Amino acid sequence: MSLFWLHRNWTIRQVDGDIHASASVPGCVHTDLLTADLIPDPYLDRNETELGWIGRSTWRYETVFDRPDGSHDRIDLVCEGLDTVARVELNGRVIGATANMHRRYRFDIGPALREGDNELSITFTPAHDYAEGLVRELGERPSAYTEPYTFIRKMACNFGWDWGPALVTAGIWRPIGLNAWSGARLAQVRPQISLTEGGARVTVHVEVERATDEELLVTASVAGASAVVAIPAGETVGLIELDVEEPELWWPRGYGEQPRYELVVRTADDEWRQHIGFRDVQLDTAGGAFTLMVNGQPIFVKGANWIPDDCFPSRVDRGRYADRLAQACGAGINLLRVWGGGVYESDDFYDLCDELGLMVWQDFPFACGAYPEEQPIADEVEAEARDNVVRLMPHPSLVLWCGGNENVWGYFDWGWQERLAGRTWGATYYTRTLPGVLAELDPARPYLPSSPYSGSIGLHPNRQDRGPIHIWDVWNQRDYAAYRQYRPRFVAEFGFQAPAAYATIRRAIHDEPLTPDSPGIIHHQKAVDGNRKLLVGLQPYFPHPETFDDWHYLTQVNQGRAIQLGIEHFRSLWPYCAGSIVWQLNDCWPVTSWAAIDGDGRKKPLFHALRKAYADRLLTVQPREDGLALVVVNDTAETWAEEAQAVRQSLDGRVHEAQMIAFRVPPRGIVTVPLSRPVADTDDPARELIAVTAGDRRALWFHVADKDLDLRPPQYTVQVEGRRVRVTAHTLLRDLALFPDRLDPAAEVDDQLVTLLPGESAVFTLNIDGLDDKALAGFPVLRCVNDVVAG
Residues at the interface with ligand BMA (CB under 6 A): 161-163, 341, 367-368, 405-406, 472, 493, 583
Q: Which is nearer to ligand BMA, 580 or 622 (CB)?
A: 580
Report residue 707 CA to chain centroid gap.
Answer: 34
DSSP E strands, 211-296: 216-222, 225-231, 237-245, 261-266, 271-276, 281-284, 291-294
Q: How far is the CB of 377 from ligand BMA (least distance, A)?
A: 20
Q: Which is nearer to ligand BMA, 425 or 716 (CB)?
A: 425
Report residue 515 CA to chain centroid gap.
Answer: 30
Q: Which is nearer to ligand BMA, 416 or 542 (CB)?
A: 416
Q: Which is nearer to ligand BMA, 468 or 740 (CB)?
A: 468
Q: Which is nearer to ligand BMA, 475 or 701 (CB)?
A: 475
Q: How far is the CB of 405 from ligand BMA (least distance, A)?
A: 5
Q: How far is the CB of 337 from ligand BMA (least distance, A)?
A: 10
Question: How far apart, in Å, do the first and last CA atoms of the chain sit?
Answer: 73
Rg of the chain over all Cα atoms, to the nearest angstrom: 28
Taking a C-beta distance cutoff of 8 angstroms, is the pair 713, 785 a contact?
no
Taking a C-beta distance cutoff of 8 angstroms, is the pair 405, 341 a contact?
yes
Q: How far is the CB of 304 from ligand BMA (least distance, A)?
A: 13
Q: How far is the CB of 328 from ligand BMA (least distance, A)?
A: 18
The 8-class DSSP code of residue 249 comes to: B
Separation of alpha carbons 392 and 700, rounded Å: 44
Q: How far is the CB of 599 from ligand BMA (least distance, A)?
A: 14
Q: Which is nearer to ligand BMA, 147 or 688 (CB)?
A: 147
Handedness of CA 308, 312, 317, 322 (dihedral sign): negative
Q: Which is nearer to ligand BMA, 162 or 681 (CB)?
A: 162
3-state secondary structure of 609: helix
Q: Which is nearer to ligand BMA, 175 or 341 (CB)?
A: 341
Report helix angle 530-538 to 548-572, nearest 10.
70
Q: Which is nearer to ligand BMA, 169 or 584 (CB)?
A: 584
10 Å Cβ neighbour count for 389?
Answer: 22
Q: How far is the CB of 579 from ligand BMA (least distance, A)?
A: 16
Residue 34, amino acid: L
Q: Which is nearer to ligand BMA, 96 or 467 (CB)?
A: 467
Q: How far is the CB of 196 from ligand BMA (least distance, A)?
A: 39
Q: How far is the CB of 495 from ligand BMA (least distance, A)?
A: 6
Separation of alpha carbons 322 and 306, rounded Å: 14
Separation of alpha carbons 667 and 636, rounded Å: 6
Q: Which is nearer to ligand BMA, 216 or 567 (CB)?
A: 567
In sequence order, the 6+-apart residues with CB closer than 8 A to the CB of 147 are: 131, 159, 160, 166
Q: Which is nearer to ligand BMA, 179 or 305 (CB)?
A: 305
The 8-class DSSP code of residue 431 comes to: I
Burial of residue 677 (number of CB atoms within 10 Å: 0-12, 13-18, 19+): exposed
Query: DSSP letters of 349-401?
Result: HHHHHHHHT-EEEEE-S-BSB----STTHHHHHHHHHHHHHHHHTT-TTEEEE
Residue 442, amino acid: D
Q: How far is the CB of 307 from ligand BMA (least distance, A)?
A: 8
Q: How far is the CB of 150 from ligand BMA (least distance, A)?
A: 13
Q: Which is nearer to ligand BMA, 160 or 396 (CB)?
A: 160
Query: DSSP letters of 66-102?
Result: EPPSS--SEEEEEES--BSEEEEEETTEEEEEEEBTT
Of 167, 275, 160, give the one whose Cα is nearest residue 223.
275
Q: How far is the CB of 532 from ligand BMA (least distance, A)?
A: 15
Of 171, 70, 92, 96, give the one whose Cα is nearest residue 127.
171
Separation of alpha carbons 415 and 168, rounded Å: 27
Q: How far is the CB of 339 from ligand BMA (least distance, A)?
A: 6
